[in-house]
Amino acid sequence: MSLQRIERPVIIGTRGSGTSLGADFLRPGSRATFRFLSRYGVLVAFLALWQVSSSAGWVNAAVLPPIDTIVAALWKGLAGGSLLGDIAISLQRAGIAFAAAVAVAIPLGLFMGQVRAVETALDPILQVFRQTSALALYPVFILLLGLGEASKVFVIFWATLFPLLLNTISGVKEVDPKLIEMARVYGAARLTVFRRVVLPGAVPSIFVGLRLSATTALLLLIASEMIGANKGIGFQVMNAQYNFQIPLMFAAIVILAGLGLIANQALVSLQRRLCRWSNPID
Amino acid sequence: MSTASRGEVSIRDLSKSFTLGGRPLAVLRALNLDVRSGECLVIVGASGSGKTTLLRILAGLEAADSGGVAIDGKPVHGVGSERAVIFQEPRLLPWLSVLGNVTFGLEVRGVPKTDAEERARFYIALVGLAEFSDAYPRQLSGGMAQRVGIARALTVQPEILLLDEPLGALDAMTKIGMQEELARIWSEENVTMVMVTHDLEEAIYLADRVLILPREKGGAARLIDVELPRPRDRSGSRFVRYREELLREFGLH
């Protein structure tokens, strides 16, 4: 029991103790302001600069309209409902494709990561597919599936599949073999080892894949909607530009940025809940 | 009757070789050894002498080329529930709390969760970590993590505890504390301990008998009885004499 004295217990990484050093001397009220500014100051300054340079005429307001005009166009589109239909159809395309990619890539990746022979056999073709731009294949998909919904959903599915699949495979492969051996020593059967050791160990890497895939899904969504669509946020960006409705174009771009942020934030929160044990996320 | 033979290991004509650079390299050559029930046998040897290989064969993680191992008269094939292994690394599952890690072995074996947790809490307390049941591995120091690994092995209540340089990665101060802890646990738990180490002082401190594996071809394994009262005094003259004897075995004195 002399151990307790020899070795001081160390607890690190308690959550919520992260007040920044520079804020310590400030009063509580201004401390919150300080924290807000240290995080969002540059963003606020960027928006302010945009607003001022546009309304003061430093830049061509027809090409870069002031922020308040963009916000007004955004509000009109959302409250008036004209953009809601576009958002719905875009979410549907990206959502179906992303869900299909998850349903295919995670089980397949878990399997491939476990069985070396399958991984060895499929790796070269996966690398070729991954390095071939999905956008370059889009005309091929259009030829095969027509210019309708199917080719759009498929090109998004195709592009989101690979980051998720490859990250799932590497997540499984990088599970410490020493942990697997430990589980075997306690008599764990193959399925138990998979369920209790391999799967939880691969989750952080799967989340890296999910976040990459979500970003890719939105990217491909816009690209596919810019070709041969008559509805959707990507279509609105192109269409508004053709018709020189520049505030509306920026409103659609803002919606896209918002969707990306929301998707990423949702995945980050889910990851925080599932992987509290792993390194804190950026 | 059955308790008398609990945790007896007999090793017969055990041989094992590896292929290194295309050439076979014998690490164990026709080894014969009996480990008594409840004894603490410590295996030392230069690197490459096969001490870890021997322990892995005892654990059932590797198979012998010829000869074999029997535990309580039954031949060993693969891992078994009467044995538990403590590795050099704690090998904790980072997504489980200390309690979750210590119950892992029992849960794998199908023990109901509440029973497993009750037993786990006893052994967590035994290794002095009762306050840290809910901590996660990344929050623990190296010594604490290794004690969790020890508690996990004890919780399955093995007849034989196999330890592969369990304190090798710890700093000198922590190591001495942990050696005392291991000696205490061994005396309280009535378990046969087979431990590999490269630390001669650790071997003399813990062992009933020390097995010295030869490095050179044709050399014979040697057993040394450590007849010192416990708890042992590291600076006592007899302790120091055992140390000199072991050093001579390695040609270092």
For the record, the structure tokens of B208 come out as: 């009933």
Q: Is B112 helix (H, G, I), strand (E, B) or coil?
A: coil
Whether A197 contacts chain B with CB within 8 A: yes
Which residue among A3, A4, A277 sits closest to B136, beta carbon to beta carbon? Answer: A277
Give B136's contacts in chain A (Cβ within 8 Å). Answer: 276-277
Give the per-residue pLDDT at B2.
44
Q: Which of A150-154, A271-275, B23-27 has the highest mean pLDDT?
A: A150-154
Give the per-residue pLDDT at B205.
96
Give the per-residue pLDDT at B22.
84
- For residue B9, give the H/E element and its range: strand B9-20
Which residue among A4, A7, A203 sits closest to B141, beta carbon to beta carbon? Answer: A7
For the record, the structure tokens of A118 come out as: 């399958």
Give B140's contacts in chain A (Cβ within 8 Å). Answer: 10
Give B94's contacts in chain A (Cβ within 8 Å). Answer: 277-278
Give the per-residue pLDDT at A130.
86
Q: Is B251 helix (H, G, I), strand (E, B) or coil?
A: coil
Q: Determine contact, residues B103/B37, Cβ cutoff 8 Å.
A: no
Stretch 154-213 of chain B: residues touching chain A, C-beta under 8 Å: 156, 173-174, 176-178, 180-181
Which residue type, as a one-letter code, is found at position A153?
V
Q: Determine contact, residues B77/B60, Cβ cutoff 8 Å.
A: yes
- According to DSSP, the β-strands at B209-213 and B66-71 are unpaired
Q: Could you tell me the pLDDT band of residue A162, with boundaries at 50, 70 and 90?
A: very high
**Domain architecture of chain A: domains with CATH:** 21-64 (no CATH), 78-274 (1.10.3720.10)
In this complex, do A7 and B174 lie within 8 Å of one another by their Cβ atoms?
yes
- For residue B54, give the H/E element and its range: helix B51-59
Outline which parts of chain B fall under CATH 3.40.50.300: 1-82+159-253
pTM: 0.82
Query: Class for domain B1-82+159-253, per CATH?
Result: alpha beta
For the cut 80, the answer to whether the pLDDT of residue A175 exceeds it is yes
Q: Could you tell me the pLDDT band of residue A24, with boundaries at 50, 70 and 90?
A: low
In this complex, do B89 and A2 lie within 8 Å of one another by their Cβ atoms?
no
Which residue among B94, B135, B143 sits closest to A7, beta carbon to beta carbon? Answer: B143
Lowest mean pLDDT across A26-30, A52-56, A61-65: A26-30
Measured CA to CA in angstroms, residue B160 lies from A152, B72, B144, B192 at distances of 62, 11, 22, 5
Give the per-residue pLDDT at B253.
64
Please list the pLDDT of chain B residue by residue as tens digits (253 residues): 444 568 999 999 999 998 888 888 888 888 999 999 999 999 998 887 889 999 999 999 999 999 999 999 999 999 999 999 999 999 999 999 999 999 999 999 999 999 999 999 999 999 999 999 999 999 999 999 999 999 999 999 999 999 999 998 888 888 999 999 999 999 998 899 999 999 999 999 999 999 999 877 667 888 999 999 998 999 999 999 999 999 988 877 6
Instruction: Calculate the average pLDDT of chain A.
Output: 87
Which residue among A3, A10, A197 sits closest to B93, beta carbon to beta carbon? Answer: A197
Q: Could you tell me the pLDDT band of residue A51, with boundaries at 50, 70 and 90?
A: very high
What distance lies between CA A69 and its chain's CA centroid? 29
Give A199's contacts in chain B (Cβ within 8 Å). Answer: none
Give the per-residue pLDDT at B88.
92
Centre a 10 Å sphere on the Cβ of residue A225 and count the other Cβ atoms it contains: 25
Range A197-211 average pLDDT: 94
Range A116-132 average pLDDT: 90
For the cut 90, the answer to whether the pLDDT of residue A173 exceeds it is yes
Whole-number Å distance between alpha carbons of A183 and B55: 17
Tokens 């430990």 -> residue = A182
Give A197's contacts in chain B (Cβ within 8 Å). Answer: 93
> In which order are the strands placed within the sheet that holds B192-196?
B83-86, B160-164, B192-196, B40-45, B209-213, B222-225
Which of A140-177 are b and which e, b meaning 16 or more Cβ less than 10 Å from the residue's Cβ? ebbeeeeeeeebbbbbbbbbbbbbbbbbbbbbbbebee
Give the per-residue pLDDT at A18.
45
d(CA B52, nearest CA chain A) in Å: 15
Give the per-residue pLDDT at B24.
83
Whether A9 contacts chain B with CB within 8 A: yes
Q: Determine contact, residues A188/A127, Cβ cutoff 8 Å.
A: no
